[in-house]
Amino acid sequence: MKIRIEHDISDSDLFDVLVTAFEGGIDYWGSASVCHAGQGGFPSTLKVEDKQFKHGWCALTKTGFVTIDDREDEKKHTLNRLNLEAGLKLAASNHPQLLNRIVGGEYDAGDADAVVQLAIFGDVIYG
């Protein structure tokens, strides 16, 4: 038997998850360093002087990305909309409790960190 459950995660909700990750969730292993907003730049309502907000926006645009500097292996990783979607699909299949907390808005910095790791590495390798 195959059961399929769909969850809707708005860009606004995912933006909040990313800001949580950048404000402290990933700090023990990495940091967001480069932000490319892609086509269209930043919306006029976004305070681009706030680094975490800026990086959250860049990762969600269709052509934007954020570079994550990994302190553990000294590599640079790209976080973008496509790998965020893939990471959330992995959360749905391999970490359903994590996805339920994200969808329900009941997540913490550790959960936000796990979303970023799933997007970048395909697994939670730190923490």
Is residue 100 a contact partner of residue 59, using CB atoms and an 8 Å limit? no
Is the pLDDT reported for residue 44 higher than 60? Answer: no
In a domain, 45, yes or no: yes
In a domain, 92, yes or no: yes
Cα 124 to Cα 35, 67, 83, 111, 114: the distances in Å are 23, 18, 14, 10, 6
Query: Using CA atoms, how far apart are residues 113 and 104, in angstroms rounded to an integer?
Result: 17
According to the model, what pLDDT value does residue 35 have? Answer: 82
Mean pLDDT (the chain) is 87
Full domain range(s) for residue 19: 11-121
In a domain, 55, yes or no: yes
In a domain, 63, yes or no: yes
In a domain, 4, yes or no: no
Return the closest-CA partner of residue 53 out of 82, 24, 15, 81. 15
Question: Region 77-87: what's the mean pLDDT?
Answer: 95
Percentage of the chain beyond pLDDT 90 is 60
Question: Region 97-115: what's the mean pLDDT?
Answer: 96
Position 41 confidence tier, pLDDT thresholds 50, 70, 90: low
Into how many domains does the chain fold? 1
